[in-house]
Structure formats: C-alpha cells, structure tokens
Amino acid sequence: MTFTSRRYRNILICAAIAASLVLLNWLFDMALRDASFLSGWLLIIGMAFLTIYNLRKKFPFLPLIPSAYWLQFHVYLGFIVIVLFLLHTSMEFPRGPFEITFWLLFFAVAGSGVIGIFITRNLPGRLQQRHGERLIFERIPVFRADLAEQVRELAMKSVTEISSSTIADYYAVRLNPYFAEPRNFSSHLFQSERPLVNLRREIRSIQRYLNKRGREILDDIEVHVIAKDNLDYPYALQLVLKGWLFVHIPLTYSLMIFALMHVVLVYAFAGRTL
C-alpha cells in the first residue's frame, strides 16, 4: 500500500468512526437517554489516550509501538475527539466563566495540535533543503558568536588597512546589531529572503567609497552576513519546531484537570442531587 492510499484509507476510517459516533449520539437521545453522558465519557477516554502519547515512555507496560504509528494514532484520534467535542457541546459557545475557559483550553490544545501537524510535516524537510548541515540547536548561538567575532576583527582590520573608517562605521551602525542576535524570525518562517537581499544590496552600495583592499574586506564581510543568515534560518525553524509543544503539552494537562473538574460538577449537579 502506498503512502497516499494508506492515508486515504485512514481518513476514511476516521470519518466513518466520527459519523457513527454522531449517529450513536442521535439514537441515544432518541431513546430518552442523556446523550451528553455518552459523548462525555467517550470524550474523556479519547482525551486520556491523547494525553498518554506524551507519557508513553513513562509507562513500561504499554506495548512497544513504533513512534510513527503512535503519532498517526494520536493525530487521527485527535480529529475524532474534536468531532466528539462539537457533538458534546451541541456546537454552542458556553455561557459560564468556568465552561468558557474550558472551551478555550480545548480549542487551544486542539488548534495547536492541528498547527503542529503542519509544522512537523513541513519544517524538517525545509531545514534539510536549505541547509545541508544539520546544526544542533544548542550550538547555533556559539556559531553566531564566532561569526560576530570574525566580523568585528574584519572591521577593526579595515581601519588600519585602508585607513578609512567607512567599514568600521557601517559595522557599528548596522552589522554589530545584526550579528548580536537572531534576526528576521518571521521572514525565515515564511521563507522570504527579502531582508537578506536588502542587507546585501546595502553592503554593496558602500563599495564605491572603498579602494580595492577595502572591497576585499567588504566581500569577506558579506560572506559572513550570508553565513549568519544561514544560521538564523534553522534557528527560527527549530525554535518553532520545539516551541509549539510548549503550548500544546502544558495546556493539555490544564485541560485534563478542567475535564476532571467538569465531570465532578456534572455528576454532583446535573446527575445526582438536583
């Protein structure tokens, strides 16, 4: 089975399960049962499975399923849980503060999950493409510091070698800040090279104030500028790649606590002692 046909099959199975849940809910209501009871418990079970995905390494008794399958399961179950949630809430926006927070938490987790699918599908491929080298995230600042130091030396050197402060001045105003920290986060994310193109044009525009030696130094600086841009790109992408989980995972736990509280409230107030 090819990748695409497997995906179509999975989507089909997923849609069929979601449809039968909607049907089941409808029949349950028709039999004068409380349908939110059914969808509610299915929701809790589904969300518990989704949460276990994060903890799977801590549960030795779980079967050793290859990571890729776990992820597939997590994604498809995620979609089913979204359908269940819409069913459970009758697609209505809640009215009380507790329930509004609960609702927002759910969609923050579900939404960051959906965004996460796109991130984890796209960014690693882009990282590979743009930069043959696989840089370790933690080391990028060190490489950046190296480049910054080299450029600083080039600028200092220029003062004595061409006895003009043109490059040094430019360094102080533009290059020093550029090398000091990661730049152009959003353009890298959206794959725009505009900032780099502009900066290079700017650098070349001072060529005419320089002699031959000055131009050599300037060329060298430009190479460093490109190298720095090549560092910013994987930095931005890796930041997002790691960063979205900082939303998805902590909010998941908050959501589960709200869900438990909701179950207690519903059982205490809507089920037993009215």
Burial of 189 (0-12, 13-18, 19+ CB in 10 A): middle
> Binder to another protein among 3, 5, 32, 121 (CB under 8 A)?
32
- Smallest gap, in angstroms, from Cβ of residue 270 to ligand HEC? 4
Q: CA 129, 131, 134 angle in degrees (round to 5)? A: 105
According to CB under 8 A, which residues from 55 to 74 bind another protein?
A: 57
Binding of residue 98 to another protein (CB under 8 A): yes
- The DSSP 8-state label assigned to residue 208 in this structure reads G
Binding of residue 269 to ligand HEC (CB under 6 A): yes
With CB under 5 to 8 Å by kind, the binding choice for 177 among ligand HEC, another protein, none is: none
> Under a CB-based contact definition with an 8 Å cutoff, are residues 182 and 154 in contact?
no
> Binder to another protein among 97, 129, 190, 201 (CB under 8 A)?
97
Reading the block at residue 94, the tokens are 């809640």
CA distance 258 to 264: 10
Give the distance from CA 200 to its chain's centroid: 30
Binding of residue 99 to another protein (CB under 8 A): yes
- Smallest gap, in angstroms, from Cβ of residue 230 to ligand HEC? 53
Main-chain dihedrals φ then ψ at residue 191, nearest 5 degrees: 60, 40
Q: Among residues 20 and 192, whose Cβ is nearest to another protein? A: 20
Amino acid at 269: F
Q: How large is the greatest C-alpha to C-alpha distance in the chain, in angstroms?
A: 92
Contact pattern for another protein over residues 195 through 224, marking x by CB under 8 A? ----------------------------xx
Binding of residue 263 to ligand HEC (CB under 6 A): no
Q: Among residues 36 and 158, whose Cβ is nearest to another protein? A: 36
Residues 6+ positions from 154 with CB-CB distance below 8 Å: 167, 217, 220, 221, 224
Q: Among residues 10 and 230, whose Cβ is nearest to another protein? A: 230
> Binder to another protein among 61, 138, 186, 212 (CB under 8 A)?
138
Binding of residue 270 to ligand HEC (CB under 6 A): yes
Reading the block at residue 225, the tokens are 């500028």
Q: Among residues 105 and 199, whose Cβ is nearest to ligand HEC? A: 105
Residues 6+ positions from 130 with CB-CB distance below 8 Å: 230, 233, 234
Please choose, from the candidates 139, 109, 126, the residue with its C-alpha nearest in 3D space to the C-alpha of residue 188.
Answer: 126
Residues in the chain: 274
**What are the residues binding ligand HEC (CB under 6 A)?**
32, 265-266, 269-270, 274
**What are the residues binding another protein (CB under 8 A)?**
24, 26-34, 57, 94-99, 133, 135-139, 141-143, 146, 223-224, 226-227, 231, 242, 245-246, 249-251, 253-254, 257-258, 261, 263-265, 267-274
